[in-house]
Amino acid sequence: MARSYVDAHLHLQDQRFSGLVETLIGQAQGAGIGRMFCNAVSEPDWPAVAELSRRHAAVVPFFGIHPWCCNAAGPGWQKRLADRLAAMTSGPVGIGETGLDKVRGADIDAQRRCFLDHLELAAALNLPVSIHCVKAWGALLEILETFASGQGLPRIMVHSFSGSVETMRRLIDHGCTISYSCSIAQPGRNQLRETVTQTPLTALLLETDSPYQKCPDLGPLSYCTANHNEPVAVAALYRYTAELLNMDIDELSSQLSTNAAIFTNQTADR
């Protein structure tokens, strides 16, 4: 079986990729990247993400309101999001990205309300969620643990994880999957790399978060843009992570493809 990679979180609809998307997707597929989880950040993004998924079977759409954009969300966005998700019947779909950010974005109470709306919808529709969290791990765990005690959590991916080993383990205890970005290859991220090595393989994913988090330390890559990360970099991230974990890259790619499957199949076992 040919090796296949999954980019578990990126933003192909970003304006920085204007005019380049078809080239980026073609280059990624040529590098063996078979799935790209494309996350909206605000309601104006939703049509573009939907159109990308319509044109490319490799693109899995996620629709939501990023914590940076909570204050700009128009009244009734929850109903419009539910309607869009209900209309996406031709392939896999998820919710995100959503979450909490104490560094940037709306006040934390507004973020909490927005995040809980996403969780409620995901639980009701049995859809996966892609979560953003920056310096709000305690608040995130509190929300997830309270939600889990009430009705059970939907399938959750915590993207671009940057927390501690203890936080990672608590999230995994609640059935979450942990996705790491290209930042694990940056100089000085020794603690984060140690967390990667302690993450169970069955709960691990990798992502570029393109166009964010470009990391030259992944090695020479053929980029279409001068300053931004691109999906093709996930192949290099797989190679880097396989070396970090001292394992065969084919074994890693096979396991991560299995891990990613629960985010592409609404009826998959958690």
Distance, in Å, from the CA atom of 164 to the CA atom of 225, rounded to the nearest integer, reads 33
Q: Which two tokens stand for residue 172?
A: 């995994």
| Domain-located, residue 172 | yes
Dist CA 66 CA 98 (whole Å): 5
Q: What is the pLDDT of residues 97-129, one digit of tens each?
A: 999 999 987 789 999 999 999 999 999 999 999
Looking at the DSSP bridge assignments, the partners of residue 94 are 62
Distance CA 37, CA 59 (A): 6
- Containing domain of residue 115, as a range? 5-263
Give tens-digit pLDDT for 81-97. 999 999 988 889 999 99
Per-residue pLDDT tens digits of the chain, which is 270 residues long: 567 999 999 999 999 999 999 999 999 999 999 999 999 999 999 999 999 999 999 999 999 999 999 988 889 999 999 999 999 888 899 999 999 999 987 789 999 999 999 999 999 999 999 999 999 999 999 999 999 998 889 999 999 999 999 999 999 999 999 999 999 999 999 999 999 999 999 999 999 999 999 998 887 788 988 889 999 999 999 999 999 999 999 999 999 999 999 999 755 443
| pLDDT of amino acid 269 | 44
- Residue 113 located in a structural domain: yes
Under the phi-then-psi rule, with left for phi > 0, alpha for psi from -120 to 50, and beta for the rest, what region is 84? alpha
Q: How many domains does the chain have?
A: 1
Q: Look at the pTM and tell me if it is higher than 0.75.
A: yes
Domain for residue 269, yes or no? Answer: no
Residue 255's pLDDT is 96
CA 240/CA 50 separation, integer angstroms: 32
For residue 9, what is the domain's CATH number? Answer: 3.20.20.140
- Judge whether 270 lies within some domain: no
